[in-house]
Each structure stands twice: as structure tokens, then as C-alpha cells.
Amino acid sequence: MAQIQKMGGPYTKQQQEDRKIKVFELHFEQGYSAVQIAKMLDVNRNTINKDIESWYSEIRKEQSHSNKDWFDKQLLRLEFQRARLQESLVDGLSYKDRMQIEKSITHIDLSIASFVVKIEVSKKYKHL
């Protein structure tokens, strides 16, 4: 009787850990998709997707605090830059200079809004 190769099912803890490490290398370091990894490792695509999701969750946990600090610093920096530009809008500026400063202020406002939206979306949809 021929031996049948295992195509899925319950994996031992060691097999799971080995596979997750390989998935990390292939997906995050080499840029392979879940479908490509599933074919390479001869594992169900959904299993690979769960492994990738697990890695994203771990990364998010590790970086959530540092990301918040980074966002706070960026927002503060943008707000200070905006205030400096606002102060430079004095009478006597040429039309061209005034428009450049106002364009910069608008760009900063849009950047701040973008940061806030990203923060809110990440709070609401933690899996993104």
C-alpha cells in the first residue's frame, strides 16, 4: 500500500512554528503572496493567510505604542510648521509669495487630516 502524503489537517506545534517562520521570510522579506507561498509549501492558502494575519497582529502589538508616539510627533511638528507659516502671512507680501504660503498651509492641513483619518480607521478596523 502506497503512503499518502499529508495535504493538510492538524499540524504539530513545531510544524506550525516552522511554517510561520518560513511564511514570515517568504512574505515579509521576499514579498511572495499567500497563494505563491501556499504552492511553495504545499499548504492550504487559508492556512497561509492565517499565518500572515497572525504576523501582522504581532507586528501591530509591538509597534502600536511607538506608532502612536510617532504620529503624535508628526502632528505636533506639522502644527508648529503651520503656525510659523501663518505668522509669515503679513501685509506687504507679493501675491505669489502669499499664494505659496497659503498652498503650504493647505498642504499641512491636508496632511494633518490624513493622519487623523488613518488613526481613526486603524482604531475602528484593527485588522487593516
How do the domains of the chain map onto residue ranges?
13-124
Instruction: Give the per-residue pLDDT at 120.
Output: 76
Q: Percentage of the chain with pLDDT > 70?
A: 84
For residues 87-110, give the mean pLDDT: 89
- Tell me how far apart the terminal alpha carbons of the chain are, to the nearest angstrom: 48
Can you state the angle between helices 45-88 and 34-41, rounded to 10 degrees? 150
- Has residue 58 got a pLDDT over 90? no
| CA angle 9–12–16, rounded 5-degree value | 85
User: CA–CA separation, 123 vs 64, rounded Å?
Assistant: 11
- Has residue 101 got a pLDDT over 50? yes
Instruction: Give the per-residue pLDDT at 78.
Output: 86
Instruction: Give the per-residue pLDDT at 5.
Output: 52
